[in-house]
Amino acid sequence: MAALRVAVPVLALLGLCPGPAAATAPLVIWHGMGDSCCNPVSMGYIKKLVEKKIPGIYVLSLKIGSSLIQDMENSFFMNVNEQVSQVCRQLAQDPQLQRGYNAMGFSQGGQFLRAVAQRCPAPPMLSLISVGGQHQGRVYGFPRCPGESSHLCDWIRKTLDLGAYSKAVQEHLVQAEYWHDPLKEEEYRKNSIFLADINQERGINETYKKNLMALKKFVMVKFLNDTMVDPPISEWFGFYKSGQAKETIPLQETSLYKEDRLGLQEMDKAGKLVFLGVQGDHLHFSEEWFDSTILPFLQ
């Protein structure tokens, strides 16, 4: 019997005996503009759905602020760089995430979580799923803006049209920080305090590139009937051809990809980039689609 007791761990050490099954990686979710961490018809619903379909998984739906109202308000008015810094500290202090986690961002939460991946490698983000995130920015449209006739929405649109790249607007209006006007490329590169930084528009930060390339998968979901994001191809990291606002090009034709400033070309060749399309307007998808298409990336 003594020999048998010794043999089992020896086989395990040699890799010939399977150990216990690995636990499912935790999931971190970041909501979009005008939403909150725990809205029962959006992020609260997604959290419960994932927990139901993957028993035992730890799901953290990020809340920016001390209340749900503050969380929603901060999605409009809190400097994105400070939001990302707060999230990085929160993740670093969460004992359930220390061995790594998957991340899923909805609309602007997609590009915000990409910033987390690039700036904060500990704890490690394993895979990033961007659901309608605008990775090359946008020039119009507000997903989940509270009411098309809302005075707030109208004010934001007018403010962006008049002075998106002014210092005061950049520092205090979230949507200005990923506003990308193809007719004002130089102004965007010079004055955008968030998107131009994480997209390496002013130089190459090798740490950003190294950290993003550490992802196992970078999944990008584009809504094929999107009427709220301009241009929708930004959800697949494409954008307008420089200097005009009519013809769009895919990621593979952009200078970002050709110069491989973020490592996306290398990731693409390694099969790490996944481009998914779903019928419907912005953030409109069925539970069946989510179950069959998104959940496999979490298991």
Residue 145 DSSP SS3: coil
Specify if 193 maps to a domain.
Answer: no
Stretches in the chain below the pLDDT threshold 70: 1-22, 140-150, 153, 157, 161
pLDDT at 150: 63
Q: Count Cβ neighbours within 10 Å for each residue of 184-210 and write b for 16 or more, e otherwise.
A: eeeebeebbebbbbbbbbeeebeebbe
Q: What is the DSSP letter of 254?
A: S
Identify the pLDDT of residue 9.
35
3-class state of residue 274 by DSSP: strand
- How high is the pLDDT of residue 3? 32
Rounded Cα distance between 102 and 271, Å, is 18
The CATH number of the domain holding residue 221 is 3.40.50.1820
Q: State the pLDDT at residue 242.
A: 81
The answer to whether position 133 is within a domain reads yes
Can you give the length of the chain in residues? 299
- Rounded CA gap, 279 and 299, in Å? 24
**Domain boundaries, position 55:** 27-140+206-239+247-297
Between the alpha carbon of residue 141 and those of residues 18, 157, 225, the distances in Å are 51, 8, 14
**Which residues belong to the active site?**
107, 226, 282
| 158 found inside a domain | no
Q: What is the pLDDT of residues 72-101, one digit of tens each?
A: 999 999 999 999 999 999 999 999 999 999
Question: Given the structure tokens 């979009």, which residue do they identify?
Answer: 32
Count CA atoms within 13 Å of residue 295 on its CB side: 18
Query: Buried b vs exposed e over 270-291: b needs ≥16 C-beta within 10 Å?
Result: eebbebbebeeebbebeeeebe
The pLDDT value recorded for residue 146 is 56
**Total domain count, the chain:** 1
pLDDT at 141: 57
- This prediction's pTM: 0.88
Per-residue pLDDT, 4: 30
Please give the pLDDT value at position 140: 63
